[in-house]
Structure 1
C-alpha cells in the first residue's frame, strides 16, 4: 500500500529532497540567501555548488559568517559538506554507522608532535572514537561546513560541524579502571605468534564494526593495521545523554589462523559477524613476470613477512585473505580465514542482502574488483570466485563523466577445506630451499598454464614450481594468486588504490525486493559505492580497459556501481571527483582543500547520502558528507 501511495508523489519527494542541497545551491548563486541568516547556512551547503566558484558567491552575501566556512571565502565543492577534520598527520579511518545513528571513526597515525589537550586527551597516537550527541540516521539537510583548521589548536584536534568527538581508546591504553576487564598489554599492541613478545604498538586503527547486544550496548571491533595484524574488541554502553563508556577491553586472538597481516578495512556481515581484511602486500604486481622470492635469505624482509614470526619461516599463502570473526560476542570469538574469496591486497569486502554475494576491493596498483558467490547463504566457506571485466564508455576519458559497463569472468569454484590443503603444501618451505633464479612458490609459468587450460603443471625445467611440477592441474592458482589468475583470464587488472566499498543494506534490499524498508522514500535503484584514492598509474597509462585522462590524478574520487535484481554489479559510474590535480604545486595545494583529496572509505546512510573519509595530501584530512542528489 505504501509503495502505491508513494508512487503518486515520488517526483515531489525527489524534488523536495534534491532541493535540500541542489536548490539551495541555486539560491546561493543568486547571493540572496546570504542575508537570510539560517537559510544563508543552507545557502552555504548549496555553495558547495560549482566546484569552488560559489565561494565567491559566499562573499557576495557573506551568509552570516558562512563565508567563513571556507575561511578564505571558499566553500566545499558541489554537494559536499565538511563534517569534521582530523589532527595533523592523521587520516580518517574506521567509518561505521550503527542502526541507532552512531557514527564511529578513527584518527589514524596522527603526528606524534601534536600537543594540544582536549578533555585530558592529546591526538598524538592512534585514536578510536565516535561522534556523540547526534543521530546520523536522522541528520538535518542544511548542515554548515566545519571550518578549515587555521590555528595551532584547530590543526591538532578533531573539529566537527555537528556532534562532539568522544575518544574511546588510544594506542597503549590498558583501561586500568576496569580491573580484570582491562587490557594489560595495551590497545593496539601486537605480539609474536611464537615468542608472545611485544612487536609493535600500533598507531593505525582502521575498520570499526559495532555488534549491538541491546539498544544501548554492544561490542566495537577495530582493526589495527600492522605486521602482524590485530583487532581489538571493546564492550561498551551508552547513557541517556549519548556518551559511551567502555566496560571491557580485549585483543582478538588470531593464533588459530597463524596470525593476520595488516588488518585494513572491513565490514559486518548481514548475520552480524565482523569481516576483517588482510591488506598484506602479497607481491602480486600485475606488471611483473618475476617469480616470488619470499624465502631469499638475502632479502627475507620482502613485504615485511618476517614480522609475523610464524613457526620457522612464514608461509605467504596463509596471508592476504578475508577473516570472519564468528561468535563475536562470546568470551573467545572464533576466527576463520576464507581462502575462497581469494588472496590479494584486501581493502574490504561487502556482503549483499542475499547473504551469498560478496564484493571485494584490491588496494594496489593494477588491482581487480572481485566477486564471490557462496554456495549457501551465511556460509562463505565454499563458492565461486569472479573478476570484473570493464568496458569504458566510448569517446570519453574525463574521470568526472566516464563510466564502465561490467562483465564477470568466472575464475574457479572451491572450498576453504580444499584450498587449505593446497596452502599447507607450502608450510615447510624455508630459506634453505631458496635457489637463485627459481621460485619455491607458484610461478608465472604455473599461472599461465592454468589460464591456458593445460592438463598438467609445467616441469621445473619449464619454469614450474617444485611443489606442483608435472602434477595434474588444479585451481589453486585462482585462490592463491588471484590477481594474476584474474588478469590472465581477461578480467580488468588496472584499478589504482581501489579502496573502500559500501552499500546500505536496507536500501539495496528494498530496491531489489520491493520491501518497504526506507521511510518516506521509494527506493527502486540502489548502488555500491567505491572510493578511489588515486586515479593514476594503470588507470591513466593509455593502455588496457581503463584509459582515463590524468586531470584528477592523485586527488581521487568516488564511483558507484549499479546493482541488478540478482545482486550483480552491472555498471560503474563516477559520483564525485576531487579537483583538478596541480602537479606544479607541492603539499596540500596539489588538491583543493575544498574538494576531495584521496578518498579512502565510504559509507551509505539510510537517506542515500554518503560519508567519505580522506587519506590525502591535506594538513588536516576531512570527513565529508555528500548528497548524490545534488549532482
Structure 2
C-alpha cells in the first residue's frame, strides 16, 4: 500500500491490525499510529459555561504497540469583530471607496457599522509571502462578515448594509504553531458591484478563496415593486448615493478571491456558475466539478462542471431531480439524476446584467394553468408561478434564474435550508446539509404544489446527507457529464432528534445529537466530518466531530447561548500544524433558555461579547499532525487541574491525608502523591513526565496521562 501524506492508511490498520501487525511484527516495526478518536466534551451546565466559547475535548491516539496518548484541545480567539487588527476594525462595513459606512440612527452620534456575524474562513499559505513582524511563518486568512444585525437604535439592518470580507495576515509560530493576527485589510468589491450577504465559503484546491452571495433578491418582486427587496437600500449605502438604483441580477453569485505574494488580491464573480441562494461552493478533487448549498425554502441541488480544471469562468450547470427511495429517521434516501440547464461563460452572463435585463425580458407569466406555461414553486417567491421562457432567452433563464428554470425543466425544488457542503476525496463522497427537514420536504397533504418529489418525515433538527459520486454518469437526456464526481444517490448520514417537550435548558432537540447542522468541513487525514450548528433548538450551539468510519459523534466545541457556529475549515497540515478554524456569530441572539436561567446568562454574554455586539474569529488548537502524534507519543509536559478536569469527565476525586489524590471513574482508579514522578493506574506504576504538584492551591497533573486514564473504557 502506498503511504499517504497523513493518516489514510491508519484506518485500514484499525480494521486489519490482527492480520497486518501480529504481535511479533509490532515489536520489530517502528511504532505507528493505528487509529484516532475524538473524545467529546460534556454539554455546558453552568451560566458561566453557557456564556463562553470553549472546549474540553481531546483527541485520543492509539499506537500499534497498544499504547495510547490523549491530546487536549483548546479554543484560541484570533480577534473579535469589534477589535482593531492593525489599524482596521475587523468587522467594519465599507463603501465602494473603501470608507466606513456610518450608522446615523442615533442623532448626532454617528458610528461605523460593525458586523457581529463572521462566517467563512480560508486559512492559506501564499508562496513567496514576506515574513511577519513576529518572525513566524506568514499565512493569510480570508473571512466573511455576513451581515449587520442591527443599527445603534436597535432597528434591523440585515441586508440593508453591504457586507464585507477581510484579508488578515497571520503569524504562525514556527515552534508551537500558535496563530496571531498581525494586520487586516478589507477586500475591495467595487469592481463587481459590491458583496451581497456572503455566507459560507471554501478554499479551492488551487489555493484561492471561493465565497458566496446568499438569499439572492427576487428580480420578479423587484420589478413589480423595488421596495420588496433590499436591492436599492444596498446600492445607496454601498455607493453613498441616495439616487442610486440597484440591479437584483448583479447579486447571487460566487466571488473568487486570489491573494498574491505581495499581499494584493483580485476579485471576480463567477456568473456562469448560476444565480441562486449560494451558501457556498465546494470544488471536487478533479478541480472542475462544484457542488453548492442553496439556502432557503423550496431550493435546489446544483452541480457545475467547468470546461477546464482550476478555471471557473466557463462551464455547464446542472440541476438535480431527486427520486425518493425511503423515509427513514436519518433523513431518508433517494437517487439523483441531472438536468443540463446549459453552458455559459462569465462574460456572456455578465453582458445580460450590464444591459439591464429584467425578469419580464426573460419570462412570460400568467396566473393560472395555461397551455405553454409551466407551473412551478421555488425560492425566493415561495409561491406557485406559471412561466414561459421568451424565445432566445434560455441562457439568461438558466444562469440568472437558475432555480426557476431548473424547476421548469423538472428539477426538484423542494429542499429546505440546504446549507454546508464537504467533499471526501478518498471515498468519493460529498456531504450536504439539510438544516430543517420540514415544509416542502414533507408530503403535500393538501395537493397544492406543482410536484411532490420529496415526502420525508418531519425532522426539525435536520440532518447531514451523504452523496455517492462516480464517473460515467449521463444527464437526464442521455448526454455525457464530463466529470468523475457526479453524484448518483444520496442518503441521510447524521441526524438530530426532536424532543416532544423542552428540557431544563430549553432544548427542543436532543442535546447529545446534532441540531440544525449548518457549516461542515471534512478532514481527509482524520476521516472526520466536522459539523457546526445554527440552531434555535439547542440552548448552546456546538461543533461536532463525526468519524465516517466508526460513526462516532463527539461534541468538541460549545458556543455562547444564542450564538451560531460558523467559519468551519479543517486544516490538516499547514507548515507541520493542524487546526480547525471556527467562528461564532451574534452571541446572545434569541436565547431559548428559560427566563430564570437567561437572567443569569445574559449579563455574562454582555460582559464577554461587548454587549452582544461582537462575534469572534478563531480556531481549535491542539490537534496534532501524524508526525507530531509519533514525535510526542511519550512526551507529556503540559499540566491540567486534576480535580476540575476529572470531575468534568464524571470522575470522583478524593484528597487523602498522606497528601495523595485518588481519582475513580467507573472500574478504573488513579492515585498519585504530590511530588512523585510515578502514579498508579489500576495498581500499576505509570511513570510521569512531570511530578504532580500544587499550583495556586490546586493539584496539577500531566495532561495526557490524566486524559488517557479518564478516557479508559
The residue correspondences of 1:474-623 to structure 2 (distance < 5 A) are 474-504=394-424, 508=425, 511=426, 525-542=427-444, 544-550=452-458, 553-565=459-471, 566-582=484-500, 588-605=506-523, 606-616=525-535, 617-623=537-543
Could you tell me whether the CA contact under 8 Å between 2:437 and 2:461 is conserved in 1?
A: yes
Q: Give how far 1:442 is off.
A: 4.4
Q: TM-score, normalized by length of structure 1?
A: 0.65
**Take 2:511 and 2:504, find their aligned partners in 1: how far apart are those partners?**
13
User: How far apart in 2 are the matches of 1:204 and 1:9?
Assistant: 38
SS at match of 1:387: strand
The Cα RMSD (Å) is 3.5
Deviation at 1:527, TM superposition (A): 0.7
User: Does the CA-based 8 Å contact 2:141-2:167 persist in structure 1?
Assistant: yes
- CA distance in structure 2 between the aligned counterparts of 1:481 and 1:187, rounded to whole angstroms: 34
**Secondary structure of residue in 2 paired with 1:256:** helix
1:298, 1:9 → 2: CA distance? 57
1:425 to 348, 351, 355: 355
Larger radius of gyration: 2
Which SS does the other structure have where 1:366 is aligned?
coil
1:2: which partner in 2?
2
In structure 2, do the counterparts of structure 1 residues 408 and 450 end up closer, same or farther at CA, with 3 Å as the change threshold? farther
Q: Which residue of 2 aligns with 1:282?
A: 217
Gaps of 5+ in 1: 18-137, 176-181, 285-290, 430-438, 453-462, 512-524
Task: Give the conservation status (yes or no) of the 8 Å contact 1:293–1:440.
Answer: no
2:143 corresponds to which of 222, 225, 229? 222
Count, aligned residues: 453
Gaps of 5+ in 2: 19-32, 58-71, 103-112, 128-135, 148-158, 375-384, 445-450, 472-483, 552-713
| Alpha carbons of structure 1 residues 219 and 619: separation in structure 2 relative to 1, 3 Å | same
Q: Is residue 407 of structure 1 aligned with residue 331 of structure 2?
A: no
TM-score between both structures, scaled by the size of structure 2: 0.58
Of 153, 157, 170, 1:236 maps to: 170
Residue 464 of structure 1, CA deviation: 12
Aligned to 1:628: 548
Native 8 Å contact 1:442 1:464 kept in 2: no
> Whole-Å Cα distance in 2 between the matches of residues 450 and 425 of structure 1?
28
The one-character-per-residue Cα deviations of 1:309-358 (angstroms, maximum 9, x if unpaired) are 44621111110100000245543311100001111110110111111111
For residues 342 and 7 of structure 1, do their structure 2 counterparts lie closer, same or farther at Cα, with a shift above 3 Å needed?
closer
Q: Give distance in 2, aligned partners of 1:253 and 1:156.
A: 35
Once residues 396 and 298 of structure 2 are traced to their aligned partners in structure 1, the CA distance between those partners, rounded to angstroms, is 21
Once the two structures are superposed, the pairs formed by residues 261-272 of structure 1 within 5 Å of their partners are: 261-272=196-207
Aligned ranges 1:173-188 → 2 under 5 Å: 173-175=83-85, 182-184=86-88, 186-188=89-91
Asked if structure 2 preserves the Cα contact closer than 8 Å seen for 1:593 and 1:618, the reply is yes
Alignment of 1:69-84 (within 5 A): none
Deviations along 1:151-198, one digit per CA (max 9) or x if unpaired, are 2221111221142211111113222xxxxxx233x1111123369441
Q: Which has the higher helix share?
A: 1
Q: 1:368 to 1:451 in 2, by over 3 A?
A: farther
SS in 2 for 1:141: strand
Aligned partners of 1:173 and 1:278: how far apart in 2?
25
Which residue of structure 1 lines up, in the alignment, with residue 222 of structure 2? 293
Deviation of residue 407 (structure 1)? 0.7
How far is the alpha carbon of 1:417 from its aligned partner?
0.7
Partner of 2:45: 150
In 1, Cα distance between equivalents of 2:438 and 2:9: 45
Query: Using a 3 Å threshold, how does the CA distance of structure 1 residues 231 and 10 change in structure 2: closer, same or farther?
Result: closer
2:45 & 2:356 partners in 1: Cα distance? Answer: 54
Which residue number corresponds to residue 580 of structure 2?
none
Report which of the two has the higher share of strand: 2
Using the TM superposition, give the Cα deviation of residue 629 of structure 1 relative to its aligned residue in structure 2, in angstroms.
2.5
Cα deviation code 1:381-437 (max 9, x no counterpart):
1111110111111xx32241621111110001111111111111228x8xxxxxxxx
